[in-house]
A and B are shown apart, each in its own frame.
Chain A
Amino acid sequence: MAVVLILVILAIGSVVFHVFSPWWWTPIASNWSYIDNTITITFWITGFVFVAVVLFVAYCVLRFRHRPGNRAAYEPENKKLEVWLASITAVGVAAMLAPGLFVWNQFVTVPADATEVEVVGQQWLWSFRLPGANAKLGTSESRAIGDGNALGVNTNDPNGLDDIIIEGGELHLPVGKPVKMLLRSIDVLHDFYVPEFRAKMDMVPGSVTYFWFTPTRTGSFEVLCAELCGTGHPQMRGTVVVDTEADYQTWLQEQQTFTQLLAASKEQQQTAIASSASSTK
């Protein structure tokens, strides 16, 4: 009898826990509320099945537990019942899969007007690159990484010279405009993860991955790394600030372009050479 009681408490307790749990998803800040809706549908279907199965087991234990003189029924198969159950299951599965694939199609179809923004991961730091005046990101390769060029932008690609580069700082995005996040890593796997945006994707050295979303509310959001990247993994944090258009433009004007960074680094080198030359005299 204790078994029956505990099974019933377990089934109902799980539902109560679900309803009253203070641990729930963060308030969404992107267009992917479809994903939240699909999760909700899945919770309803799976929750129903879980409670039904556990309560059925509890009922069986209550009703058919051994008593002296009892004998079990003998019923090897029941084709009709088996076909029914399989069909209902298939319908339930389809009810979850169909909206899932529908939303996935949206997830992988990047809108034509999405602005490209590059995120570069390295142990254990986030950097960002935005297209400059020509609205195009220059090409990049990790072999080009060197002084003044931490992200490996190709110096001989004119598209890259006006790119805006943010090393280890905050990324700002304008609210309400779709962005395509181009994801790159220069060392190991990382994963650009902002819980409020719902979307995430691994960053793989040697290739460029992506996802897209539209920020739907302003605010400051913490970036975490969601793919184990070595000892400093939990400390790899960054910030995305979603601004109004005006605030965004103000911030954008303050950032440095690739050309400026290259020049600054050259200047630094020259002063270093000059000072070392003067010290040897």
Chain B
Amino acid sequence: MVDIRSGASEAIPLAEVEDVELYHPKSWWTHYVFSQDAKIIAIQYSMTAIAIGMVALVLSWLMRLQLGFPGTFDFIDADHYYQFITMHGMIMVIYLLTALFLGGFGNYLIPLMIGARDMVFPYANMLSYWLYLLAVLVLVSGFFLPGGPTGAGWTLYPPQAILSGTPGGQDWGILVMLFSLILFIIGFTMGGLNYVVTVLQARARGMTLMRMPLTIWGIFTATVMALLAFPALFVACVMMLFDRLLGTSFFMPAIVEMGQQLQQSGGSPIMFQHLFWFFGHPEVYIVALPAFGIVSDLISTHARKNIFGYRMMVWAIVIIGALSFVVWAHHMYVSGMNPKFGFFFATTTLIIAVPTAIKVYNWVLTLWRGDIHLTLPMLFALAFIVTFVNGGLTGLFLGNVVVDVPLSDTMFVVAHFHMVMGVAPIMVVFGAIYHWYPKITGRMLNEAMGQIHFWVTFLGAYLIFFPMHYLGLLGIPRRYHELGETAFIPESAHTLNMFISVMALIVGAAQILFLFNLAWSLKRGKPSGGNPWRATTLEWQTPQTPPAHGNWGNELPVVYRWAYDYSVPGAAEDFIPQNQPGLGMPTRETAS
């Protein structure tokens, strides 16, 4: 029986392992630049991810300008449009969301929330960041090399990705993309091993696995998945590089390109898709699970109520993680693979809806009979629930193989995945930043700017992506830089495209306000104190805010309870920190 009830503090055995000595920085360079402190690395990861994310945001503006007002902007031709969508997609999925959730939040929160002094391999952790930065720079170099970045779509499907009909296919574009992904994966592996080993080995005394906050469960499971999924992408990238540079035929059948017989033969383009989606589908959950975990903690803290069904939540995370490895070919229902696969993959895909739905129920049941504080993190959590439920439900269309046939490769798909793995996780990213910014800086983010940012982003994003589904239902294909004269597309569809583009410009602009808030509040934000949200988890109990190197001063914390002792009957306060024995009342134990 797992102990999750309050007040069940028990005698904690003495430490079996001695406290470790950390690497102490000797200069400004090793303190702030080549730092081995997970908190600094987290900030480096986050700032790099946000910087490259701004590039992706500008790219989305450019592509929306083209879609909303085709022919108006001369500098966006077909080649550029395909380069923009490709880079936008890849940056958002890999270089922003994966890096921010795991490299950013993972690094900052894992040691603090489990009561460790740092990651267990600080040097590898530092290398992880510098490889990530290098990967980003290599990726960006595509914009400046002859031929520009690749325009193969973020899925990089061969053969077109390495042929001349695609921008960057026979130039530098595809090469730097593949090199960058390879570097990213090497860097991620160093970081990822760190997160897993740290969670398994470095938890504070009393922090059993079933007392860990769901944030850690989400990040931990996502990292395990990423360590298993990224190698598939790694080999796919290496093979495609060989096909492109050495003339091998892993993915290249006999092809006649523009009247020319190519030398290669015998390869399988569909094999690439299997490798890509064996990585690509778990990737969706690599982004989603940390968001699931974090939002659980945001809802619990700001509703002053324990997360409902904690054990079910943990198991749901683990089951979703495991199932996500056997659903990948639902991205390939119309790829030309054996159609009989459809039966298996539609079934596994729809089964995943059950643990996912349980998570949704538990979030809303946590609100039920809560004491809901409508703080900015709570608002973003509510926005996450709405957008995630919306995007998750449209997944039931696309996962159900026969329904996918008319909808696949249309704007319905674009709307679906933006809602479910773009908007929803980003709502959590924002909520998490408003929530933990006080711990990282010691100051609160400005509330007024935050409210404007929230409403514009939430409602704007919903107005962009909800109507977009209907363009797909109408049959408008994705990845068309212009619709041209098409008999079945009415004039009103162009009007809707214009509306979506205008909304995209507005929502994008709201993010600039958010970045301004981040900078402005650093000096002028209201001082927050150590635990402004009156939260239970360990990161709020550090002796200093922001936490110092080593996190805990002289004594490592000892954990007496689960992470969700909010509003415990009979307790003095409406929260009991994890490292507090008893109910916060003067009892015999604490009084003596």
Binding site for B on A (CB under 8 A): 3, 6-7, 10, 14, 17, 21-26, 32, 34-35, 38-39, 42, 45-46, 49-50, 53-54, 56-57, 60-61, 64-66, 70-78, 81-82, 85-86, 89-90, 93, 96-97, 100-101, 103-105, 107-108, 122-123, 141-143, 145, 152, 183, 186-189, 191, 193, 195-196, 198-207, 209, 222, 224-235
Contact = CB atoms under 8 A, between A and B. Distances in A.
Nearest to B394: A46
Contacts, number: 320
B248 interface: no
A50 B389 contact: yes
B255 A142 contact: yes
A17 B466 contact: yes
Contact of B339 (A32, A64, A108, A224): A108
Contact of A24 (B5, B347, B361, B473): B473
B493 to A, nearest CB: 6
B474 A25 contact: yes
B406 to A, nearest CB: 4
B434 to A, nearest CB: 16
Interface of B: 4-6, 78-79, 82, 151-153, 157, 159-160, 163, 165-167, 169, 253-258, 261, 265-270, 303-306, 308-312, 334-336, 339-340, 342-343, 346-347, 350-351, 353-354, 357-358, 360-362, 364-365, 367-374, 379, 382, 385-386, 389-390, 393-394, 396-397, 400-403, 405-406, 408-410, 459, 462, 466-467, 470-471, 473-475, 477, 479-484, 486-488, 490, 492-493, 496, 564, 566-569, 574
B396 A60 contact: no
Q: Which of A22, A103, A204, A206 lies at the interface centre, i.e. has the most chain B CB atoms within 10 A of its CB?
A: A206
Contact of B160 (A61, A81, A188, A203): A188
Nearest to A71: B567
Nearest to A2: B455
B402 A100 contact: yes
A234 B370 contact: no
A6 to B, nearest CB: 7
B389 A231 contact: no
Nearest to A43: B397
B249 to A, nearest CB: 10
Contacts of B167: 231
Nearest to A141: B254
Given A26-B488, A200-B405, A123 B165 contact: yes
B567 A85 contact: no
Top 5 nearest A-B pairs by Cβ distance?
A206-B253, A230-B165, A195-B475, A209-B336, A188-B160
Contacts of A7: 382, 386
B90 to A, nearest CB: 14
Contacts of A203: 336
Nearest to A100: B400
20 contacts: A3-B382, A38-B400, A38-B402, A42-B403, A60-B368, A65-B374, A76-B5, A85-B358, A86-B358, A103-B402, A141-B254, A143-B261, A187-B159, A188-B160, A200-B408, A206-B267, A224-B486, A231-B79, A232-B165, A234-B484
B479 A230 contact: no
A39 B574 CA distance: 47
A3 B353 CA distance: 28
B346 A104 contact: yes
B309 A82 contact: yes
A231 B346 contact: no
Contacts of A70: 371
B364 A56 contact: yes
A148 to B, nearest CB: 13
A72 B569 CA distance: 9
Nearest to A28: B406
Contacts of B568: 74
A35 B401 CA distance: 10
A89 B396 CA distance: 12
A227 B159 contact: no
Given A73-B369, A123-B258, A228-B160, A90 B385 contact: no
Q: Which of A64, A75, A78, A230 lies at the interface centre, i.e. has the most chain B CB atoms within 10 A of its CB?
A: A230
B447 to A, nearest CB: 15
A175 to B, nearest CB: 19
Contacts of A142: 253-256, 261
A36 to B, nearest CB: 8
A222 B372 contact: no
A53 B385 contact: yes
Contacts of A235: 484
A75 B306 contact: yes
B123 to A, nearest CB: 41
A99 B353 CA distance: 17
Contacts of A204: 253, 269-270, 335-336
Contacts of B473: 23-25
Nearest to B482: A234
Q: Which of A14, A90, A189, A203 lies at the interface centre, i.e. has the most chain B CB atoms within 10 A of its CB?
A: A189
B400 A3 contact: no
A63 B504 CA distance: 34
Nearest to A62: B372
B567 A60 contact: no
B483 A71 contact: no
Given A23-B470, A70-B371, A206 B269 contact: yes
Nearest to B79: A231
Contacts of B258: 123, 187
B477 A193 contact: yes
A183 B409 CA distance: 17
A243 B477 CA distance: 26
A255 to B, nearest CB: 23
B470 A21 contact: yes
Nearest to A81: B365
Given A234-B484, A235-B484, A57 B367 contact: yes
Contact of A234 (B267, B394, B480, B496): B480
Nearest to B477: A226
A22 B490 contact: yes
Contacts of B389: 49-50, 53-54
A96 B358 CA distance: 18
Contacts of A209: 336
Contact of B310 (A46, A73, A77, A207): A77
Contacts of A3: 374, 379, 382
A58 to B, nearest CB: 9
A53 B79 contact: no
Given A143-B265, A196-B488, 5 more contacts: A60-B367, A72-B371, A82-B358, A100-B402, A204-B253
B406 A35 contact: yes
Nearest to B363: A57
